[in-house]
């Protein structure tokens, strides 16, 4: 089956832009950048949300939310952006961008784990092995910080682990509690609602008034326009135009590209620990997606069998 050229181009955008957002965050909040992490994230969320909302209005999408839609959107937004992206932004004050991307790329592992706990059903052997491999990979990535006793690196690693868990929880919640809003509108409101969480954290932590350098401003602008608007739109299109197993390959590609970009542009070191942990996490994610594909095939076969067995069913 021929793949959509337009879909592949959008997927390429997702590959490159979402891989590079970790590098942009690092540039924006690195020591000396002049951008406190939560004020940087909050201002980014506000502007990106307004742009997405304006584009949705131009496209004729329904903008008004019901009370239930607001509550569900707010919960998903806080988990995905404040808990997920916010902890990444805070951690990258000291953590390398490639390491951050690798830790967050474990989100599908946590999604699979949370789903297994939720349904209270014994997972398949493939899923069990994949989960164990993934958790071991996270441990390998954290090993240098644990052995060195570096408090800043260890705190960053813990924050990134919690970020992956929060993003996974938000993904599971969003799947279980969908809203009848178009994707751009839902994303716009998630950005705007989460900005309140960012600003509250900035106030609570008494972050100083931002005095960003030129490079920090450039990174912030890149995150607003490309990270939140362009890449998200491309991801939506790639899901519509490509098979899901092709669209989700960003989960394997992004960590590799992020490592390469960090090493190339910021001279971030790539150690044997990094390579070993990265390989384990990526293989684990592949196994989890493979297990999900098998489960979907089994459910489809059962549904087909029921249709055939039902009296009076027309095929």
Question: Can you give the three-state secondary structure of the chain, one letter per residue?
Answer: CCCCHHHHHHHHHHHHHHHHHHHHHHHHHCCCCCCCHHHHHHHHHHHHHHHHHHHHHHCCCCCCCCHHHHHHHHHHHHHHHHHHHHHHHHHCCCCCHHHHHHHHCCHHHHHHHHHHHHHCCCCCHHHHHHHHHHHHHHHHHHHHHHHHCCHHHHHHHHHHHHHHHHHHHHHHHHHHCCCCCCHHHHHHHHHHHHHHHHHHHHHHCCCCCCCCCHHHHHHHHHHHHHHHHHHHHHHHHHHHHCCHHHHCCHHHHHHHHHHHHHHHHHCCCCCHHHHHHHHHHHHHHHHHHHHHHHHHHHHHHHHHHHHHHCCCCCC
What percent of the chain is predicted at pLDDT more than 70?
94
For residues 55-83, give the mean pLDDT: 94
pLDDT greater at residue 63 or residue 300 = 63
Q: Is residue 14 part of a domain?
A: yes
Residue 68 located in a structural domain: yes
The confidence band for 118, taking pLDDT boundaries of 50, 70 and 90, is confident
Residue 90, pLDDT score: 97
What does pTM read for this prediction?
0.89
| Predicted pLDDT at 241 | 84
| Residue-averaged pLDDT of the chain | 90
The residue assigned the tokens 């899923």 is 127
Cα–Cα nearest to 52, from 248, 194, 217, 211? 194
Question: Which pLDDT band, with edges at 50, 70 and 90, does 3 fall under?
Answer: confident
Per-residue pLDDT, 315: 46
At 300, the pLDDT band (50, 70, 90 cuts) reads confident
What pLDDT does residue 25 have? 97
In a domain, 180, yes or no: yes
Higher pLDDT, 124 or 1: 124
Is the residue at 313 inside a domain? no
Nearest Cα to Cα of residue 187 among 231, 217, 219:
231
Q: Compute and round to an integer the Cα radius of gyration of the chain.
A: 20
Least confident segment among 94-103, 133-142, 151-160, 245-254: 245-254
CB within 8 Å of 90: residues ≥ 6 apart: 29, 37, 38, 159
pLDDT band, very low/low/confident/very high, at 110 (cuts 50, 70, 90): very high
Number of domain units in the chain: 1
- pLDDT greater than 90 at residue 159: yes
pLDDT exceeds 80 at position 304? no
pLDDT in tens, 193-226: 999 999 999 999 999 999 999 999 999 999 999 9
* Model pLDDT for residues 7-50, shown as the tens digit of each residue: 889 989 999 999 999 999 999 999 999 999 999 999 999 999 99
Note whether residue 314 is domain-resident.
no
Percent of the chain with pLDDT over 90: 64
For residue 288 the two structure tokens come to 């989890």
Let me know if residue 315 belongs to a domain. no
Is pLDDT above 70 for 256? Answer: yes
Half-sphere exposure of 55 (CA within 13 A, CB side): 20
Q: Give the range of the structural domain holding residue 127, as residue numbers without chain letter.
A: 5-308
Residue 99 pLDDT grade (very low, low, confident, very high; cuts 50, 70, 90) = very high
């Amino acid at each position: 089956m021929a793949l959509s050229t337009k879909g592949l181009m959008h997927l390429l955008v997702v590959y490159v832009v979402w891989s590079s957002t970790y590098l942009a965050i690092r540039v924006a909040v690195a020591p000396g950048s002049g951008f406190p992490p939560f004020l940087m994230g909050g201002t980014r969320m506000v502007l990106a949300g307004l742009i997405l909302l304006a584009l949705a209005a131009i496209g004729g999408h329904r903008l008004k939310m019901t009370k239930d839609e607001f509550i569900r959107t707010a919960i998903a937004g806080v988990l995905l952006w404040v808990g997920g992206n916010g902890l990444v932004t805070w951690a990258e004050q000291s953590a390398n961008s490639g390491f951050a991307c690798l830790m967050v790329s474990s989100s599908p592992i946590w999604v699979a784990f949370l789903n297994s706990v939720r349904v209270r059903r014994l997972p398949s052997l493939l899923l069990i092995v994949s989960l164990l491999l993934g958790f071991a990979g996270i441990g390998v990535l954290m090993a240098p910080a644990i052995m060195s006793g570096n408090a800043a690196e260890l705190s960053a690693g813990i924050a990134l682990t919690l970020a992956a868990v929060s993003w996974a929880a938000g993904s599971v919640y969003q799947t279980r509690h969908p809203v009848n809003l178009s994707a751009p509108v839902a994303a716009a409101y998630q950005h705007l609602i989460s900005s309140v969480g960012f600003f509250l954290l900035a106030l609570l932590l008494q972050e100083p008034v931002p005095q960003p350098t030129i490079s920090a401003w450039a990174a912030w602008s890149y995150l607003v326009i490309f990270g939140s608007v362009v890449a998200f739109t491309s991801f939506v299109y790639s899901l519509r135009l490509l098979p899901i197993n092709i669209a989700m390959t960003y989960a394997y590609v992004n960590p590799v590209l992020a490592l390469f970009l960090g090493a190339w542009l910021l001279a971030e070191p790539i150690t044997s620990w990094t390579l070993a942990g990265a390989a384990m996490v990526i293989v684990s994610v592949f196994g989890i997606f493979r297990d999900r594909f098998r489960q979907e095939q089994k459910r489809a076969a059962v549904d087909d069998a029921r249709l055939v067995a039902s009296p009076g069913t027309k095929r």
